[in-house]
Amino acid sequence: MVVSPHPLATEAGRAVLTRGGNAIEAAVAVAATLAVVMPHFCGLGGDAVWLVCDREGRQRCFLGIGQAAAGVTAPSGAIPTRGPSSMLTSACAVDSWGHALAFSAANWAGRESFADLLSPAIELANAGYVPSGSQDFWLDFRAQEHPAWPGFAEIFNHRSDAGLLRQPELAASLRCLAKDGYRSFYDGPLSEVIADGLAKAGSPLNAADLAATRTREVDPLALDYRGTLLLAPPPPTQGCATLAIMGILARFDLGETDPTSSARMHLLVEATKQAFLNRPSIGDPDFDTGKNDPAAAMLDADSLDAAARDIDPASAMLWPHPGNTADTVFFAVADPAGRCVSVLQSTYFDWGSGVTVPGTGILWQNRGAAFSTEPGHPNCLAPGKRPFYTLNPGIAIRDGAPCLLYGTQGADGQPQTLSVLLTSLLDDGMTPEQALVQPRFLLGRTFSDSRDSLKLEGSLGAETADALSALGHEVAVLPALSPIFGQAGVIRLSTDGTVEGAHDPRGEGCAAFVTGTPGQRP
């Protein structure tokens, strides 16, 4: 099965599986297609974080995270969130595709060519496609800003071209990758064009920074939740925050609460707060001179016990604490051999830096804006450093085999949404589709509301919202299935061979079976 936030990407992955490709090969086809058809959330100029797992016990994480420019200097004030001054980190998504395919060839008998996997993306970039409702939403949302982004409207305002979005320069860049290989992006013919374009755009990144960009392959973090092993990526990602939330919740009997009750929602929110208190300790472990291990500290049993004790079932902890904003895409693939891939791919904010690298059609990320400028902070900007990362796709394992693939868009909202999904799936026994429909919450600021309030989906009902207000939460109710609550996806694999999957009803997400009814929407 393949799940992704866009039907065209899902179909690209399904086609690979149908012709006998494995989960990683299908995921690369999905990733490349999403880089074309969801330019507001991801692209060649961004990053990616992968989890892969199989029935033979292989559990690996690929951190496709670009590093800060070697010549970068910290600004005197805050790092800009748009424009050339936000283009401080290299882009590692393409390298992660190549790294994943090398793993596929070595361990999963992969044989698909990189060029073939890029073919659907090249065709869509060249011939054009009808943009999704999600893309329309975020184009309209930035209508007052994007006219100031050089060259943006000429490429991405599809309303001027009979409703189709064509990206010929991006198609040319993809063709170059298909011809010369994925490392062409970093130290081949395409890299020369990118480096020249970055210099023209005013970014501090140069050819040496591109050549130094490499995916890290590491062990994932793991936490036992009621007999199910949850995997998450390690620092500099916030994967340990998601696991900490679930570790705190494991100390409570959720079977006694209704999934949409104020008692359940209050517990999830307060567990989130406890986990988020320790997130500022997360940074690039390569730059931690004190050899601290924030993940180990956050997931220590005594720490989780203490956090659970600190939750007051009758009162909300005072908030705010600084948060993060970002957008991304989640997709997952499970192949017939039970080999599984769970991926998040991003350019950070919607539309990234807003700057397209001249001559390439590549919209560059603004991930550099995720750095702190506070001296001594674990996430303080430094040359060659990787920033704190919100991306944390997940895989769950039971009896030695993967049983759940899951992830979501949404920066700070990712661990929060995953707490809703995982408790719905593991504690309440819901199907993926049922879990994805469940009402969500979002603690902190959003694009449309700068207050550090508790946003609730209207489908929770007035009674639950009122009860949470009575507990001391500053509640703001947003429409049900609002795009603000992100777009998630889930695949569930059962021991009897049944595979179920769905992508979020808050977008155009689609699930497709390898066998059964191809292209069936959940």
Q: Report the candidate in 100, 107, 130 with the shortest Cα–Cα distance to residue 30.
A: 100
Tokens of 30: 């999905």
Q: Report the candidate in 98, 113, 120 with the shortest Cα–Cα distance to residue 48.
A: 98
The size of the chain, in residues, is: 522
Tokens of 77: 């004030």
Residue holding tokens 């700068």?
450
Amino acid at 418: L
Q: How far is CA 349 from the centre of its chain?
A: 11
- Integer Cα distance of 243 and 380 in angstroms: 24
- Integer Cα distance of 44 and 32 in angstroms: 8
What single-letter DSSP state applies at residue 131? P
Report cis status (omega within 30 of 0) of the bond before 236: yes
Phi then psi for residue 77, to 5 deg, are -115, -150
CB-based contacts of 155: which residues, under 8 Å, 6+ apart? Answer: 167, 169, 356, 361
CB-based contacts of 347: which residues, under 8 Å, 6+ apart? Answer: 41, 42, 43, 45, 46, 47, 327, 353, 363, 364, 365, 366, 367
C-beta of residue 64 within 8 angstroms of C-beta of residue 365: no
Phi then psi for residue 231, to 5 deg, are -105, 145
CB-based contacts of 196: which residues, under 8 Å, 6+ apart? Answer: 358, 359
Indicate the pairing of strand 475-478 with strand 454-457.
parallel
Across the beta sheet with 475-478, what order do the strands follow?
441-443, 454-457, 475-478
Of 33, 89, 215, 328, catalytic: 328
Q: Between vectors from CA 476 to CA 475 and to CA 477, what angle results, nearest 5°?
A: 120
Q: Report the candidate in 513, 520, 506 with the shortest Cα–Cα distance to residue 5.
A: 506
Q: Has 360 been annotated as catalytic?
A: no
- Which residues participate in catalysis according to the annotation? 328
